[in-house]
Structure 1
């Protein structure tokens, strides 16, 4: 078991924060794409977000591994090691790390809020789409649209919105 220096923990934590900031930016872009109904842009953003999430998972794994190893070295292996306890070993870094933690928590809150808003936008879009489809189904069932009978201009009953012959 090799313990990373505390400076490496700080770098891991900082990189993880930076990736969450990028993820927040992408969530905001995704919100705009949802509102503009830009499916291609949305697909591109979701794909990029997946790459960011994979990187965040790697960094988070490294951070947890570091904390577990550090806790095993400094305390009994079966106890949890808190951020505050880690700061006791980094007195010169305490203020900067606490600011970084506060910024990190703020970004996580903002990300959660935007994700909730995006979820609601998507649900609303689906409701509108379902309503529109139901209106179309009802319209098709009541009268005919764009079909001819025996070269006359009268309409006839059909199950299609637009006659394929047109």
Structure 2
């Protein structure tokens, strides 16, 4: 097997392994959200940041490897997809590359679905918190009651000392 081809396969394997770890982290986030474990959620997100950095490095390495391989083969194309490149590999190498490409796509799809579920859980949690806050906050009584003068019950002068509640002369 050609050295550059093996390098691409190794990169796809590493990217797949990283996405498997992302999927594990996504499940940990789900559990943290369900339990309301904010410190646990923060920890998982911090760990994800390190994985993101690793993925960026791998993606840069992958792009460089593909560019170098294309230059060696005399192919000059921009924004070429892996599917388009596969036709230039011998059958055995193509099959292995396709295998790892499919595994990577499967892991990415799984991660996307889990992240969508986590987002729904977080939105549900926020709705619950908002409803809880609304029930705990004191409600303003008669907030929409207005006296004929246009003043609300809170705006009138009763008890303010400017107008007595009872007329003592009566």
State how far apart, in whole Å, the 2-side matches of 1:90 and 1:44 are. 45
Deviation, structure 1 residue 18: 0.4
In the aligned structure 2, how far is the partner of 1:19 from the partner of 1:87?
27
2:23 counterpart residue number: 24
Aligned length: 138
Q: Which residue of 1 aligns with 2:129?
A: 129
Q: Deviations over 1:54-92 (max 9, x none)?
A: 101110111012112222332443444332424532432
Deviations 1:17-56 (A, max 9, x none): 1001100111011111111111111111110011011101
The separation in 2 between residues aligned to 1:135 and 1:104, in whole angstroms, is 47
| Residue 119 (structure 1) aligns with | 119
Determine the structure 1 residue equivalent to 2:59: 60
SS of 2:91 mapped into structure 1: coil
Which residue is equivalent to 1:41? 40
Moved over 4 A (4+): none
Query: Which structure has more RCO (C-alpha within 8 Å, separation ≥ 6)?
Result: 2
Give the structure-1-normalised TM-score: 0.74
> Which runs of 5 or more structure 1 residues have no equivalent in the other structure?
143-166
Q: What is the distance in 1 between the residues matched to 2:117 and 2:102?
A: 23
- Stretches of structure 2 that go unaligned for 5 or more consecutive residues are 142-170
1:114-139 residue CA offsets vs partner (Å, 9 max, x unmatched): 10111111111111111111211136
Structure of higher CA gyration radius: 2
Once the two structures are overlaid, the 10-residue window that deviates more, 13-22 or 72-81, is 72-81
